């Protein structure tokens, strides 16, 4: 199994919206990718909650049954088409993949 965890820190304003609005839009876009390929075992998207310590604004925690499944997810047209919006609104991105 392969875990795929990604964090995004968003710009204060981008694409005509504020950070909070863009975080919710990113969550909705990612949630739409939660079952686009076979082999997705876990897929959870969360937006940082006010009042709790957070250095990033949104996180994706996911697990795939194989490297092939993660590759299929990364290259799926539904995932590829949301990448430009993510690039436009993010200030920083951190990612880690690891096998368990």
Task: Give per-residue pLDDT as tens, 76-96.
Answer: 999 999 999 999 999 999 999
Q: Are 12 and 89 in contact (CB under 8 A)?
A: no
Q: Are 26 and 8 in contact (CB under 8 A)?
A: yes
The model's confidence at residue 54, banded by pLDDT at 50, 70 and 90, is confident
Question: What average pLDDT does range 45-57 have in this prediction?
Answer: 92
Q: Is the pLDDT confidence value at 50 over 90?
A: no
Q: What is the mean pLDDT of the chain?
A: 97
Q: Which residues pair with 60 in a beta bridge?
A: 6, 45
Output the pLDDT for position 38: 97
* Predicted model pTM: 0.93
Please name each of the domains of the chain with its CATH number: 2-95 (3.30.70.100)
């Amino acid at each position: 199994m392969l875990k795929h965890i990604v964090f995004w820190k968003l710009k204060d304003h981008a694409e005509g919206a504020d950070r909070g609005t863009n975080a919710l839009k990113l969550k909705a876009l990612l949630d739409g990718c939660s079952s686009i390929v076979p082999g997705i075992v876990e897929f959870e998207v969360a937006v940082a909650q006010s009042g709790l310590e957070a250095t990033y604004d949104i996180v994706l925690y996911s697990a795939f049954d194989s490297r092939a499944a993660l590759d299929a997810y990364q290259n799926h047209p539904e995932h590829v088409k949301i990448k430009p919006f993510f690039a436009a609104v993010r200030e920083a991105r951190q990612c880690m993949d690891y096998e368990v």
